[in-house]
Amino acid sequence: MTNRKGERTKELIVRKASAVFNCQGYMASSISDIMHETGLGKGGIYNHFESKEELMLAAFAFSLQTMGHFYAQALAGKHGCAQSLLSLASVFEQMAQRDVLPGGCPIMNAAIEADDAIPLLLEKASEAMTHVSDMVRLIVNTAMKTGEVAETVDTEYVTTVFISTLEGALMLSKLYRDATHMTRAIKHLKSFFSMELGLTV
């Protein structure tokens, strides 16, 4: 096996495992599931990853990378606080409609599942949520500097409300297989931006 071919196989495993873990859960998925998805044998998997835990972390990192790509794509060319925040929200809308990341938000999935069970995954989920929060904070703080929102606005409050509403609505949309919950959540966020932040939406 050339190094190049080895790298491609490793990438294939991570990509397939990322979908399996994000949809079925980290503990519920077995190496057999990954073997089935990749068409590889057990040796073919363990040739690249020392343990299921190592594969889980690589797969989670890949899911985050995918999500980061969708956020970057949504934000491209957007200006101003309301437009930027709503473009981030549109990624949650796509997740609710199962157009992207069919298993839902990888961070919420890992956060719920890893809590009290897989400490290292919980740590990675917490770091990832901080990255998402930082995007929201940056948008709000920039809007404060340009005068788009008042300087009295509490950035941490806005960040918590924004992320909580979207993550909670994504959970409801997935539970009921009904994206209406996300539609309502985004309608509410628009009202929040307008009524509490004084933004034009």
Cα–Cα distance for residue pair 153/185, rounded to 1 Å: 21
The site string for a copy of itself over 39-78 (x = CB under 8 A, - otherwise) reads ----------------------------------------
- Judged by CB under 8 A, which stretch of 39-47, 73-81, 134-142, 161-169 contacts a copy of itself? 161-169
If one asks whether residue 150 binds a copy of itself (CB under 8 A), the answer comes out as: no
The vertex-26 CA angle with 100 and 30, nearest 5°, equals: 110
Per the listing, tokens 């077995």 go with 30
**Residue from 142, 155, 192, 201 binding a copy of itself (CB under 8 A):** 192
Task: Kindly state the smallest distance separating residue 190's Cβ from a copy of itself, in Å.
Answer: 11
Question: How far apart, in Å, are the Cα atoms of 96 and each of 90, 105, 108, 187?
Answer: 10, 9, 13, 15
Cα–Cα distance for residue pair 187/201, rounded to 1 Å: 10
Residue type, 18: S
- Judged by CB under 8 A, which stretch of 52-60, 73-81, 105-113, 145-153 contacts a copy of itself? 105-113
The DSSP 8-state label assigned to residue 150 in this structure reads -
**Residue from 35, 122, 135, 201 binding a copy of itself (CB under 8 A):** 122
- Judged by CB under 8 A, which stretch of 2-10, 54-62, 71-79, 178-186 contacts a copy of itself? 178-186
Cα–Cα distance for residue pair 16/89, rounded to 1 Å: 26
**Residue from 5, 50, 116, 147 binding a copy of itself (CB under 8 A):** 116
Cα–Cα distance for residue pair 21/33, rounded to 1 Å: 9
Q: How far is it between the farthest Cα atoms of the chain?
A: 61
Tell me which residues touch a copy of itself (CB under 8 A): 23-25, 27-28, 103-104, 108-109, 111-113, 115-118, 122, 125-126, 129, 156-157, 160-161, 163-169, 171-172, 174-176, 180-181, 184-185, 187-188, 191-192, 195-196
